[in-house]
Structure 1
C-alpha cells in the first residue's frame, strides 16, 4: 500500500470518528479518494469512496422483473438512484458507466404467461417497454448498458460451472445447482442476522443454501446445460451479467433495501467464490421503501399500489422528484397528498424566485447597479455547504433546505421597497440555483400547452399589476377587491400569483 494512502486512511478514521475497519468485513479499496462518503451496510457506517481512477466509476442497478406494470414504489427507488448517479457525475466529475439487469425469465413471468395464455417472452417484452417509457416520463437517465437474463444464459452457465468446479456449489439429482453456504465463511456480511433462508427441500444440504440453477419442470421454459436442463436462479443472474460487463471488481451496486438479503447477500457470496476474492462490490447503495400511510411498504401483494401513469396524471415528474430530493435516499418515505403538496410548493417557490429575479434585473428604474459583496459571500458559503452535504452520503434534503433558505433571504432584497439594485449578484445566484436543480434531474419546464397559455397569463398578470398599483395609490378598495377576485380565479385554474410593490409573478401549481 502506498505510504500516503496509509496516512490518509489513519487521518480519515480519526477525523470522521470511523469504526476500525479491521473490526468489520468491509475492505477499504486501494486507489484514489474522491472526498465522498457513503453509507455501507457491510461496514455499518459511512465510508470513504475510493476509486481505482478518481474520475471513473462502475455502477450496476438491479432492474425490474418484467411481469407487471411498475408502480410509484419502483419509481421512488429509481428516481433516487438516478439522483445519486447525477450527483456523482455532475458535482464530482465522475465518469460513471452504468448497467442495469432486466429479469425477463422468472416464476412470476411464467405464471403470468400461463394465466394469460401468452408466451413468457411476449409478457417480458411488453412490460419492459412500459418500464422504459415510465422511466423516461420521470426523467430518469437510461443506463449505458442493459443486460437481459435470456440473452446471457451462456455466461450464466459458465459462471455456475466454475463455482461447481471449485466445490463451492453442488448439483442435485433433479438437475438443480445450489451454492454451499457452509463453505463460504463470510456468508452473512451484508445482513448479519439471518433468521431464515430459502425453505429446506429434499435436495439442499443447508437451510441457507440457495439455488444457482433450477432443474427443469414440466411446462416451464428451460435451457440445456452441461449438468442438465433448466433455468437460472434469481441471484446468479446479476452476478454473471455484472462480471461479464465489469470483471472481478464493481464500484457501486444498487437496489431497494429489500434486496439486501437474500439477493445482494447471495450475489456477493457467489461472486467472491467465482472470482476468488474477499470483496466483489465495494459500495452497496440501498434505497428505503416508499410507504403508504398505515402500510409497511407499497407492494403489489398488499394491493396498495399507485401506477406511475396515475401519479403523473395528478402531479408532475418534477414534483415527485422534489419529494424524493427532500427525503433521505436510505430511509423510508411515506407517500401522501400532503407530502406531494409540500414538494409542489417548494418547487413553486424556486420558480417564483427565478421569475422575480428576471423582473428585478430588467428593472427600468434609473439607479445604477452594485455588486453587493455580502450577497456574493453568501453565495460562496451556500455553494460550499451544499457540496459538503452532497459529499456526506448524498444529503439532498439538507441541500434543498439550504437552497430554499437562501432564495428566501435573497427574496427579501428583491422585494425591499428601496433603491438598492444588485443585478449581477442576483443573476449569479439564480444561475447557481438553477444549475444545482437541473443537475439533480429537475427539468423546471412547462408543457407546450402551458407555454402557449403562458403568454396570455403574462399579459393578464401584468395588466392586473398595473391596475393594482394604481388602486393602492388611490386607496381604491373596490378596485383592490376586483384584483383579488382575478387572483383567486387564476388560482382556481392552477395559476398562483405572487404580488409585490415592484412586480407580480406567477407559476403553474399543477
Structure 2
C-alpha cells in the first residue's frame, strides 16, 4: 500500500481542469462522470460525480476528537458514511482510497488530561481504542489510512509556514498564527457568512480570521517553530494531513453537518490558499444530526447515549436499518418508536428468508413454473434501486422497494391457487440479501440458516429441475438453472453440476 499513495499524489495534483457550475462557486471537474449525483453544499443542489480516474476516488472523513467515549450521534454519522462508501464500492465499482483523521491534541484532551492527572497521549490512546471497538461493533469498515495529529506535527508546521511565506497568514506576538480571511476572496463559499468565527482577540486582524497555530500556554504540550512555541489549531490539522496523503486535490471530504462551518469552511480556504487552487475538495458530504426531542445530541448538553448502551438494547443491524430508512443529509430523531420501526422492518427481511426456505422445501404436488410476472417485478426493482442510489444515495427508497418486492413474492408463496415458482422466489431472495449485505447488514441471527440449509435446498432443487429439463429438452428451464448458477456465483457460492449429486463451495 505504501507505494500506492505517492502515485495518487502525483496524479491528483493536476486532477482536473475546473469550470464554473451554473452561477455557483462550485467548479465542475473535467474528467469521467460515473453516473451518480450527490448534493453539494456549495452548489446547493445535486451535482454529477466526476473523477479523474473513472474507477478510483479519494475519500477523507473527519474523525473524532478523542477526549471521551463516542455516543450514538457519532454512530449515526459514521454508519451513514460507511453506507455511502459501500454503495460507491459495491454498486458502482469505484475503488475508494479512504482516510480518517484523529484529533489527539486539542483543548478538550488537554483539559481531560489535567483533570485526571494523566498524560494527554494516554487519554487520546484510550478513547481512540474505544472508538475503533465501537465502530467494529457497528460493522463500520476501518479506513485504509489513519492520520493522527501527533504523528504529523512537522507536516503541519510546514503547511503553516507555507501560508505565512505567501502572506496568507500572519504571526502574532504570542506565537500564534492566524489565517488572513481578507486575502481569500472565496471565504464563506461552503456556507453563508456567519456573524462570528472563532472567539475574537486583539491579535487578530479581522474578526473571521482563525488560528492555524496556537501559542503555548503553561502546562500545555508544545512544539518549537520559527514563530514561537505552540501547537496546531484544529482546522489546519486535516488540511495538512490530507495534503500529505492525497496531494493538492481531494474527491470526497466527509463529516457531520456541524463541521460545515467553521471547520470545513476553514479547511477549504487554507488548502486552496496553500495549493494556489480554486477548489480543494470537489465533493463535501455532510451527515445530518441525530436528535433527541428536537435537541442535537452532544457531550456539552450531557444528553448522549454511549454506543455500548445502544447495543445492549438493539443490535447493530437494527441501528443500521434505521440509518438506511432515513436520508443521510437530514436529521434523524432517535427514540424507541423509531428503533422499533427499524427492528420490525429488519425482521420482515429475516422472516422472508425463512419463508423462502420453507416454500422451496415444501412437499407440493404442483409442477414448477417460470413466473414471468415475479421476474419482471425483480427487474423493475433492480433498475429502480440503482437509480435511487445514483440520486444522492437514496437508501430509504431502496428499502421501500425491497419491502414491496417481498409483498409480491409473499402473495405467490402464500396463495394456494398460485403455481409453484421457486426460481423467481429464490432470485428475489438472493437479490434482497445481496443488496442489504452490500449496505453493511450482517444478518447475524439468520446468516447461518441462509448460508447452509437454504443453499443446500437451492442446490438440490436446481439439480432436480436441471435433470428434468435436460431429459425433456426444456430450454427455458435450463436457462433458468444457468441463471441461478450465475447469480449464486456472484454471491460467492459456486455450484458444481453432476449427474448424481451436485456440490457447492464458497469462493472468494
TM above 0.5, yes or no, is yes
1:217 match: 217
Structure 1 unaligned regions, length at least 5: 1-8, 11-19, 456-510
Q: Deviations 1:127-148 (Å, cap 9, x if unpaired)?
A: 0000000000000000000000
Q: Deviations 1:321-347 (Å, cap 9, x if unpaired)?
A: 000000000000000000000000000
Pairwise CA distance, 1:198: 1.3
1:319 match: 318
Q: How does 1:101-140 map to 2 (within 5 A)?
A: 101-140=101-140
Quote the Cα distance in structure 1 between the aligned partners of 2:44 and 2:58. 22
Quote the Cα distance in structure 2 between the aligned partners of 1:180 and 1:25. 20
Does residue 1:331 correspond to 2:314, yes or no?
A: no
Quote the Cα distance in structure 2 between the aligned partners of 1:419 and 1:37. 41
Does the Cα contact within 8 Å between 1:367 and 1:419 map onto a contact in 2?
no
Quote the Cα distance in structure 1 between the aligned partners of 2:366 and 2:409. 19
Q: How does 1:254-265 map to 2 (within 5 A)?
A: 254-265=254-265
1:305 match: 304
1:190 match: 190
Does residue 1:439 correspond to 2:441, yes or no?
A: no
1:4 match: none
Q: How does 1:168-183 map to 2 (within 5 A)?
A: 168-183=168-183
Does the Cα contact within 8 Å between 1:40 and 1:285 map onto a contact in 2?
yes
Does the Cα contact within 8 Å between 1:327 and 1:397 map onto a contact in 2?
yes
Quote the Cα distance in structure 2 between the aligned partners of 1:412 and 1:369. 16
Quote the Cα distance in structure 1 between the aligned partners of 2:381 and 2:444. 25
1:155 match: 155
2:499 match: none
Pairwise CA distance, 1:224: 1.0
Quote the Cα distance in structure 1 between the aligned partners of 2:191 and 2:446. 45
Does the Cα contact within 8 Å between 2:294 and 2:333 map onto a contact in 1?
no
Quote the Cα distance in structure 2 between the aligned partners of 1:60 and 1:149. 14
Pairwise CA distance, 1:418: 2.5
- Structure 1 residue ranges (4+ consecutive) displaced by more than 4 angstroms after TM superposition: none
Pairwise CA distance, 1:447: 8.8
2:339 match: 340
Aligned-partner SS, 2:29: coil
1:228 match: 228
Does the Cα contact within 8 Å between 1:292 and 1:334 map onto a contact in 2?
yes
Pairwise CA distance, 1:89: 0.2
Quote the Cα distance in structure 1 between the aligned partners of 2:383 and 2:91. 12
Aligned-partner SS, 2:27: coil
Q: Deviations 1:193-214 (Å, cap 9, x if unpaired)?
A: 3111112211000000000000
Pairwise CA distance, 1:356: 0.6
CA RMSD in angstroms, aligned pairs only: 1.6
Q: Give the TM-score, by structure 1 length.
A: 0.83
Quote the Cα distance in structure 2 between the aligned partners of 1:327 and 1:143. 24
Q: How does 1:454-469 map to 2 (within 5 A)?
A: none
Quote the Cα distance in structure 1 between the aligned partners of 2:22 and 2:241. 31
Q: Give the TM-score, by structure 2 length.
A: 0.84
2:484 match: none
Q: How does 1:307-456 map to 2 (within 5 A)?
A: 307-418=306-417, 420-446=419-445
Quote the Cα distance in structure 1 between the aligned partners of 2:443 and 2:26. 40
